[in-house]
Amino acid sequence: MKKGKKTDEELAVLGGEPIRKRPFPPYPVIGEEEVAAVNEVVKSGNLSMFDADFLGGEKVRKFEEDFAKYHGREYAISVNSGTAALHVATAAANIGPGDEVIVPPYTFTSTATSVLMNNAIPVFVDVDPLTFNLDPGKVEDAITERTKAIIPVHLLGHPAEIDSIIEIAERRRLTVIEDCAQAPGALYKGKKVGTFGHLATFSFQKTKNMTTGEGGMILTSDSRLAHRCRLIRNHGEQFMEGQPREYLANILGWNYRMTEMEAAVGIEQLKKLDNFNEIRIRNANYLTKKLSEIEGINPPYCQPHAKHIFHIYATTYEREVINLPKDTLVWALEAEGIPVWAGHPRPLYENPIFKERIVYGERGCPFRCGFYNGGVEGSVEGSVEGSVAYEKGLCPVTEELCEKVIAFYLIRPPATTRDMQDIVAAFTKIIENKERLQEFRTINKD
């Protein structure tokens, strides 16, 4: 790089001034309403009321009631995380040893590990290249006599093609568990996600569109499933409302209970969810309008019949057009003061837990379980083939997405259009100076 006066247009990675020097607005958005609600609980001393009533305390019940009403479903069962929600839902659906469950490989770990938690086998099916969601056209071929359920994920805030998945499930008599962790309030053909499957799960972790800090929820309109979910979240103990506790464990359960403080925050956050989502949509629409003008950057796709609520704003980039490696583009954006999420680095099936089948003990369960005959029997060190072969090339669309996605959390409130302008400015600056960046990386590659 030539020495001399640095200009405003010099890339930050080459010594220039970054586009943005101040941090983006903090998240989550917590108002006086949440503070007052938590103070009320703390002052009452009733931090958790499951010891007095196995259905929970006043705030837990109110949050469940409000969440069910918001979605138009009969039952909501609160838990202490989105992962717990998935675990409880799969257990409530009687998924167990010898069963297979179809899941996408481009998602967070819990979608698949919740299946392992029940000693069942995740079967990965590729995703749609535009929405990143489970591809219904590829689901049918993955179904075997061992398939018990399908877990479609409404990824990044965009609804999956749930009608097609439901049709397949009904015809093949499979349970559908919607993973809505990143899509509360998203719409599919005018209906909220979480209202289609037998069960649906949500996450309220700190980064989600609404939060309780940590927490989750399960929705269903099936009274039997709701009852099982309540048992499983609370040690599997049988209960009779209004009756003394009998310490009678009917099924295997865990302690997945939500506290009154978390529920109090959730009640207030739910009131704000639609407004939070509209801010995300507005920011996303601005980015899409501006970034679509940059050749080689593809903004998120949204199906005409879907309402995308943009938990994350995920672009794909065409390396052959931009002529920059992904890590270089990410590096340059971050140097300009723009935090970036580089997408999932690998399909789930390329993680050691699946490739090496590191699950329960040293015997290879559930993959080499006596109840499972989906692969070739062998020793713990041997390979398992068939429908659960976890190897590169299994889901080519997902593998390509892992190389192409560049995404931003920063569209969330209280960020504004002014904040989005900095993202666009950073992209534009890098593309306009990509030759100098290429030259720098070539010279310094060693």
> Same domain, yes or no, for 315 and 256?
no
The confidence score (pLDDT) of residue 379 equals 34
β-partners of residue 192 are: 187
Q: Report residue 5's pLDDT band, with 50, 70 and 90 as the boundaries.
A: very low
Q: Report residue 188's pLDDT band, with 50, 70 and 90 as the boundaries.
A: very high
Question: Are the C-beta atoms of 258 and 56 separated by less than 8 Å?
Answer: yes
Reported as a single tens digit per residue, the pLDDT across 325-383 is: 999 999 999 999 999 999 999 999 999 999 888 888 877 789 887 777 665 443 334 33
Extract the tokens encoding 30.
Answer: 């917590």
Question: Strand pairing of 121-124 and 75-79?
Answer: unpaired
Higher pLDDT: 318 or 240? It is 318
Question: Are the C-beta atoms of 445 and 330 separated by less than 8 Å?
Answer: no
The confidence score (pLDDT) of residue 300 equals 97
The confidence score (pLDDT) of residue 243 equals 66
β-partners of residue 405 are: 316
The confidence score (pLDDT) of residue 375 equals 52
- Taking alpha carbons only, the member of 237, 266, 272, 241 closest to residue 254 is 237
> Same domain, yes or no, for 239 and 99?
yes
Higher pLDDT: 387 or 227? It is 227
The confidence score (pLDDT) of residue 385 equals 42
CATH at 175: 3.40.640.10
Task: Among 269, 299, 332, identify where a domain stops.
Answer: 269
**Does position 32 have pLDDT exceeding 60, yes or no?**
yes
Extract the tokens encoding 12.
Answer: 């930050």
> Same domain, yes or no, for 250 and 299?
no
The confidence score (pLDDT) of residue 250 equals 84
Residues 6+ apart with CB under 8 A from 413: 25, 27, 29, 275, 276, 279, 280
> Same domain, yes or no, for 188 and 305?
no
Question: Are the C-beta atoms of 35 and 26 separated by less than 8 Å?
Answer: no
- First and final C-alpha spacing in the chain: 16
> Same domain, yes or no, for 284 and 299?
yes
Q: Is residue 315 part of a domain?
A: yes
Q: Report residue 239's pLDDT band, with 50, 70 and 90 as the boundaries.
A: confident
Question: Are the C-beta atoms of 398 and 286 separated by less than 8 Å?
Answer: no
The confidence score (pLDDT) of residue 440 equals 77
Residues 6+ apart with CB under 8 A from 108: 181
> Same domain, yes or no, for 84 and 45?
yes
> Same domain, yes or no, for 222 and 278?
no
**Number of CB atoms found within 10 A of residue 386's CB:** 10
To 5 degrees, how large is the angle CA 197–CA 199–CA 201? Answer: 110
Q: What's the mean pLDDT when you consider all of the chain? A: 92
- Number of folded domains that form the chain: 2
> For residues 374 and 355, what is the distance between their CA atoms, to the nearest angstrom?
16
CATH at 339: 3.90.1150.10
**Does position 299 have pLDDT exceeding 90, yes or no?**
yes
> Same domain, yes or no, for 291 and 301?
yes
To 5 degrees, how large is the angle CA 294–CA 299–CA 303? Answer: 145
> Same domain, yes or no, for 178 and 236?
yes
Range of the domain at 289: 19-30+270-344+401-443
Residues 6+ apart with CB under 8 A from 335: 11, 12, 13, 18
Residues 6+ apart with CB under 8 A from 121: 99, 100, 101, 115, 146, 366, 367, 372, 374, 387, 388
Higher pLDDT: 362 or 3? It is 362
Question: Are the C-beta atoms of 178 and 194 separated by less than 8 Å?
Answer: yes
Largest CA distance in the chain: 81
**Does position 7 have pLDDT exceeding 60, yes or no?**
no
Higher pLDDT: 417 or 9? It is 417
The confidence score (pLDDT) of residue 444 equals 67
> For residues 93 and 229, what is the distance between their CA atoms, to the nearest angstrom?
9
Question: Are the C-beta atoms of 422 and 337 separated by less than 8 Å?
Answer: yes
**Does position 195 have pLDDT exceeding 60, yes or no?**
yes
**Does position 246 have pLDDT exceeding 80, yes or no?**
no
> Same domain, yes or no, for 116 and 220?
yes
Q: Report residue 8's pLDDT band, with 50, 70 and 90 as the boundaries.
A: low
The confidence score (pLDDT) of residue 369 equals 77
- Taking alpha carbons only, the member of 207, 106, 204, 187 closest to residue 152 is 106
Task: Among 243, 269, 295, identify where a domain stops.
Answer: 269
Question: Strand pairing of 306-307 and 405-408?
Answer: unpaired
Lowest mean pLDDT among 135-149, 189-203, 411-425, 427-441: 427-441
Residues 206-217 have a mean pLDDT of 98
> For residues 437 and 440, what is the distance between their CA atoms, to the nearest angstrom?
5
Q: Which residue has the tokens 């398939």?
A: 147
Residues 388-406 have a mean pLDDT of 94
Task: Among 228, 248, 269, identify where a domain stops.
Answer: 269
> Same domain, yes or no, for 255 and 314?
no
Reported as a single tens digit per residue, the pLDDT across 57-85 is: 999 999 999 999 999 999 999 999 999 99
> For residues 177 and 82, what is the distance between their CA atoms, to the nearest angstrom?
13
Residues 275-291 have a mean pLDDT of 98
